[in-house]
Amino acid sequence: MPVRSDIVVVGGGLAGLTASIHLARQGFQVDLLEKHSYPQHKVCGEYISNEVRPYLESLGLDIQSLHPSEISRFLLTTHSGTQIKSPLPLGGFGISRYRLDYALYELARAAGVRVYQQQVSSIQFSSNEFSVLTTQEREIQAPLVIAAYGKRSSLDTQLQQSPWMAIKSHYQADFPSDLISLSTFPGGYCGISQVEEGIVNACYLVKTETFKPYRTAEEFTWEVLRKNPFLKSFFSKAIPLFEKALAISQISFAAKPAVENHILRCGDTAGLIHPLCGNGMAMAIHSAKLAAEAITNYYQHKNRSTLENEYTKAWNRQFNLRLKAGRVVQRVLQQPSLTSALVKVAPMVPGLIPLVIRQTHGPLIQPAYVA
């Protein structure tokens, strides 16, 4: 027999969990469907801009209790050996998805969200109502659905072939807790920063064709990443904490609609900024806030067209320019001649790097006013 709900959230990552908590604390019945169990590691840079910190805390998340690293400095290194240092506007914190997602999951359950560890097989819309089916034959009916299933999903009708893949692992290493580094290498770039308990996360994005000749991530690290002197120094001393590095392929940065088939899309499902910008986690959380606020307004006026139009406008207003800036920065760092020009100009213009960073980040967002 179908289960009734006010909102179904498909996907329990950062965006899905955050939207669920926000809406549940507004008094709505929220059902969250996530195919994986908690906690789990995910391929992610694991750095969050402080722009979303007040909002997360307003939802009841005690960030300090998770013991994150506090990050305030940025370092850019190139495979020619050049380094550029800069303060990090607003700053941020490093926390693993293993710890953060689990904390949000517990907060969601405490707020009354019904969480099902099930995979969605289909989402149907008819007569102003959604029917969400899972592979375990559960059916949930609701007037609204949020899609927050991440970078890749069989449910994504915008799924496209992409030349990018990402690889991530945790390390025991001597790395400053207040620093995040971005290092280029032939065919890609690698971000390194500390998360909780002194653990260091290294996550890199690479063209699939560049990675293909190598049998393992370890071999690729040894043969390619070490061409950057900074990365060579790091990986020569770092001790891996995972038996095997995590990987995800077919990462698409193509433009996607904020609303599709009346479904509100959040986080990476709606648009993925290049990881080199370091703002994907904050954008996912912010998009969840936009969706939750739009849905709250919908339940006051019950106009679906207004809901979809207003959410689309809000999403575009907040993120379109950031995504475009991310594509520009990515193109610059993937072309040695442009990177060389940036490296030469940056020391003469101290505010240049902070200015570039601000183009892919936002200001502090307002806390949630929830019950």
Per-residue pLDDT tens digits for 127-173: 999 999 999 999 999 999 999 997 655 556 555 567 889 999 999 99
- Residue 325: what pLDDT? 78
> Which domain range does residue 106 map to?
3-64+95-156+252-331
Residue 175 within any structural domain of the chain? no
Sign of CA dihedral 115, 318, 314, 365: positive
Mean pLDDT of 296-306: 91
Least confident of 141-155, 192-206, 237-251, 322-336: 322-336
What average pLDDT does range 297-324 have in this prediction?
A: 90
Answer whether residue 59 is part of any domain: yes
In a domain, 363, yes or no: no
Give the chain's mean pLDDT.
89
pLDDT digits (tens, 9 = 90+) for 247-290: 988 777 777 899 999 999 998 888 776 665 668 899 999 999 99
Please report whether residue 360 resides in a domain. no
Question: What is the mean predicted confidence (pLDDT) over 87-105?
Answer: 95
Give CA torsion, residues 46, 47, 51, 57, to 10 deg.
50
Residue range 223-244: average pLDDT?
95
Number of domains in the chain: 1
Q: Choose from 76-80, 116-120, 161-165, 321-325 the range with maximum mean pLDDT.
A: 116-120
Q: Which residues of 191-210 are buried (b: 16+ CB within 10 A; e: fewer)?
A: bbbbbbeebbbbbbbbeeeb
Q: Which CATH number belongs to the domain containing residue 136 in this structure?
A: 3.50.50.60
**Is residue 108, in this structure, part of any structural domain at all?**
yes
Nearest to 288 by CA among 48, 56, 81, 42: 56
Cβ neighbours of residue 270 closer than 8 Å, sequence gap 6 or more = 256, 257, 258, 287, 315, 319
For residue 75, being part of any structural domain is answered with no
The predicted model scores a pTM of 0.92
Residue 80 has pLDDT above 60, yes or no: yes
User: Is 343 a domain residue?
Assistant: no
Whether 23 maps to a domain, the answer reads: yes
